[in-house]
């Protein structure tokens, strides 16, 4: 069996911020800490599972975790780079909305999908050669930011 390991596991609390910078909120802070802790950056990732509990949430997360520059989330989606077979497949599981977003369970499902990808056990959703994956999930609302946000980076051994 191919094994995988957790390279970073970060949880932060939301904060009030007056910035238009998408990285200023809890997602951006958690991603930056995860990248620093793991020594892995956005360009090193092979796949990701991002919080998409609403239609625009995945697009915003692209920018918050550093996959796209501010305002470029829609372009990244339109480019096809986030599709299965693209440069960085995102939400190969179908995402939270496809699961009905059972709060709490979706974060665990994201980690399962990332692990299956790294172990080459994802069947028709498999990202060829996946060696590094990121998950991002949060919940609650606090002064314009998620009350809690988690970012995990896993790698194939």
Tens place of pLDDT for every residue, the chain, 157 residues?
788 899 999 999 987 766 677 678 899 999 999 999 999 999 999 999 999 988 789 999 999 999 999 999 999 999 999 999 999 999 999 999 888 888 878 899 999 999 999 999 999 999 999 999 999 999 888 777 888 999 999 999 8
CB atoms within 10 A of CB 125: 16
CB atoms within 10 A of CB 29: 21
- In terms of residue numbers, what domain contains 30? 4-156
Residue with tokens 């960085």: 88
d(CA 50, CA 109): 11
Write the CATH number for 32: 3.40.47.10
Number of domains in the chain: 1
3-state secondary structure of 52: coil
Q: What is the pTM of this model?
A: 0.93
């Amino acid at each position: 069996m191919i094994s995988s390991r957790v390279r970073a596991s970060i949880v932060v609390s939301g904060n009030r911020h007056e910035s238009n910078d998408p990285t200023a909120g809890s997602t951006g802070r958690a991603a930056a800490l995860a990248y620093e802790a793991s020594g892995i950056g956005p360009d090193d990732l092979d796949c990701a599972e991002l919080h998409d509990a609403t239609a625009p949430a995945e697009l915003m997360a692209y920018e918050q975790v550093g996959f796209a520059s501010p305002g470029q989330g829609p372009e990244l989606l339109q480019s096809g780079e986030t599709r299965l077979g693209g440069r960085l497949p995102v939400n190969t599981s179908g995402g939270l909305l496809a699961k009905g977003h059972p709060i709490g369970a979706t974060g665990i499902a994201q980690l399962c999908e990332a692990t299956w990808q790294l172990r080459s056990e994802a069947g028709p959703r498999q990202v060829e050669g996946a060696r590094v994956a990121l998950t991002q999930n949060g919940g609650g609302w606090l002064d314009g930011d998620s009350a809690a946000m988690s970012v995990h980076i896993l790698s194939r051994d």
